[in-house]
Amino acid sequence: MTAQLELEWLGGAPEARLRRRRPGIDALPWGTLAAAELAPELAAAARASWTDGAFSEYASAAAFTALTAALLEAGAPIDLVAMAADFVVDEMVHVELNARVAAELGGAAPYLVDLERVAPVTEPGLPAIERAAELALRTSCIGEALSVPVLAGSTRAAAHPLTRAVLARIVRDERPHARLGWLVLDWCGARVDRARLGRVAARALAAYAPLWAGPPCAEPPAAHRALVGWMAEDALRQALQAAVRHDVLAPLAARGITVPAA
């Protein structure tokens, strides 16, 4: 059922455990962005952007959870499973970070979601190893690989101490997330259908293509972009195009996975 995205914090033992596992979050310069002078339309756009970021990280947590389950069902190596599962914790920390930035900007933007459909689905009847390979490809080899250069560029562009610190923390975590997929594909080896994975990759890339091939959008002034942590559109498109070529297509080809040209 579609409803407004709402995030809760329980506190107590769960919070204490999370802080032990992922320390340093409360040391970021919280409270400093709330005092920034933002035009109402820019503040609204920034709230929408960081709210979208919170949901994107939530969806990534669901994707790594699904991947972890598929790896367990496929009998994957213990440490590989543990790596995938540990990334779920990273993503939930990123949910918190995005949500807290949105709160400093005035609160979450309206955002309708169906959380019961947030986890990725694969073709029914696939063996567990095929599901693991597909989820690793979509989530890590493509999704995370494309997010890393955007986050890195946004970190460089961010001028405010809080947005820069939050983005730097997220991009630090995301780099290993992008490597996980290749580890999974290398473990799967010749036991998976490479032609099918090529078609999966083509569909996944097509879903992201509007980010680098869609019509140009109006941009706020550079000083405002820097305050909330947005890349310039030209730089964003160039970073994504380079990532597709060098971080997605090239390593896929090296593993015998050809992505249809379309």
117 assigned to some structural domain: yes
> How many residues are there in the chain?
262
Question: Do the beta carbons of residue 186 and residue 260 sit within 8 Å?
Answer: no
- Residue keyed to tokens 């820069």: 164
**H-helix or E-strand containing 36?**
none
User: What SS3 state is found at 112?
Assistant: strand
pLDDT at 207: 95
Across the range 161-190, mean pLDDT stands at 96
Q: How many angstroms separate the CA atoms of 84 and 64, rounded?
A: 6
Residue 150's pLDDT band, with cuts at 50, 70 and 90, is very high
DSSP letter, residue 229: T
pLDDT at 262: 57
259 assigned to some structural domain: no
Number of domains in the chain: 1
pLDDT at 188: 98
260 assigned to some structural domain: no
- Sequence-distant (6+) residues with CB within 8 A of 15 are 9
pLDDT at 3: 94
As a whole number, the mean pLDDT across the chain is: 94
22 assigned to some structural domain: yes
261 assigned to some structural domain: no
206 assigned to some structural domain: yes
How far from 58 is each of 5, 208, 221, 236, CA to CA, in Å?
11, 18, 30, 23
pLDDT at 231: 86
Percent of the chain topping pLDDT 70: 97
How far from 44 is each of 103, 247, 248, CA to CA, in Å?
12, 33, 34
Q: How many angstroms separate the CA atoms of 252 and 231, rounded?
A: 27
Instruction: For residue 102, give its domain range.
Output: 3-254
CATH of the domain at 57: 1.20.1260
Q: For residue 224, how many C-alpha atoms fall within 13 Å in the half-sphere facing its CB?
A: 13
Residue 41's pLDDT band, with cuts at 50, 70 and 90, is confident
Least confident range from 47-56, 226-235, 245-254: namely 226-235
100 assigned to some structural domain: yes
Across the range 34-40, mean pLDDT stands at 76
pLDDT at 243: 97
Whether 261 shows a pLDDT value over 90: the answer reads no
Whether 223 shows a pLDDT value over 70: the answer reads no
38 assigned to some structural domain: yes
